[in-house]
Amino acid sequence: MDLNLINEAVDGSRRSLARTLSLIENGEISIEQIRQVLNIEGNPSDSKSWNSLAITGAPGVGKSCLIDKLLSIWANSGLKIALLAIDPSSPRTGGALLGDRVRITSVDDEALKDKIYIRSIATRKSSGNVPLIVADMIEFLHIAKWDRVIVETVGSGQSEVRCAAIADRIVVIEGPARGDGVQAEKAGLLELADAVIVNKSDLSGAEKHAEELQESFELGLGDAPPVLLTSALNETGIAEAAHVLLNLADSGRSVRARWRERLLAHYERKILDAPDLDKILSSLAIGSISIDEAISILGGQ
């Protein structure tokens, strides 16, 4: 392992940071190895304020535009913020077009660019809207003295809650109502949300949707998460959202559901990393073993 590279990254070299993150992403070094050589014990979390915040929601609701505005406010207040922007890999070719960056212009500001780090990440083999390896990349960013890490997930389907496996807090971004109320399928994700933002408040139906969400949370059990209205376009509601999100407490909602996602994510990684996976898939394809047999072979490793 290249200890120099890691030390340079911790001492503030962006190039070495980027290269170390690649090594982690490619599985060439593990976060455990890094902790060991740097003599860091465990995951230093003071649990009160968050280290990582996942921002999730349907494609095109304005996640990137909103994050751009939030980054600029947070960086202006002196925080060093990293953004890990996730986009899907093609399951067929493995390629990916990573385009979230196009919308992030806050990093172009000379006064802010040293306080904002943006890295685009492809989902590669993993299913779900965030690959588990991102958790290790987040940890390294903290070791390298980045105060907070924001994760923009893949524009996700309504039941996609895998980001719960990697982030300390989850913010769900919604758009204006389409007149069908709060759909039942959304329940899974909203149940895990520490805050909900209804973006595009410049369009009609946004306020109504925020009210519907509020009502449905009040019917539920436990504390209702804050529901905020923003327009990334007109820059309204952004300062308040930046303040609320930065100080977002752990809602303590659905602790079991989060652990369920973590468990599933780790189990999936085990399967995907299994050395015999290709052979097992071929056997499944020609019908020489059954799914149950495949699971027991994989589980036995």
By a kind-dependent CB cut-off of 5 to 8 A, residue 65 interacts, out of another protein, ligand GTP, Mg ion, none, with: ligand GTP
Closest contact distance (angstroms) between CB of 231 and another protein is 21
Q: Contact, 227 vs 210, CB < 8 A? A: yes
Binding positions for ligand GTP, 88-107, rule CB under 6 A? 100, 103
Binding positions for ligand GTP, 133-162, rule CB under 6 A? 155
Q: Does 22 bind another protein (CB under 8 A)?
A: yes
Residue 216, C-beta contacts closer than 8 angstroms, at least 6 positions apart: 182, 190
Residue 270, C-beta contacts closer than 8 angstroms, at least 6 positions apart: 298, 301
Would you state the structure tokens that stand for residue 216, as one six-digit string?
């449905």
The distance in angstroms from the start CA to the end CA of the chain is 27
Q: Does 56 bind Mg ion (CB under 5 A)?
A: no
Helix-helix angle 277-286:255-273, to 10 degrees: 90
Closest contact distance (angstroms) between CB of 146 and ligand GTP is 21
Q: Does 178 bind ligand GTP (CB under 6 A)?
A: no
DSSP 236: B
Binding positions for ligand GTP, 3-22, rule CB under 6 A? none
Would you state the structure tokens that stand for residue 110, as one six-digit string?
């000379």
Of 16, 51, 52, 64, the one binding Mg ion (CB under 5 A) is: 64
Residue 267-286 contact track with ligand GTP, rule CB under 6 A, x = bound: --------------------
Please give the Cα distance from 7 to 27 (Å, whole number).
19
In the complex, the residues that contact Mg ion under the rule CB under 5 A are 63-64, 100
In the complex, the residues that contact ligand GTP under the rule CB under 6 A are 59-65, 100, 103, 155, 199-200, 202-203, 231-233
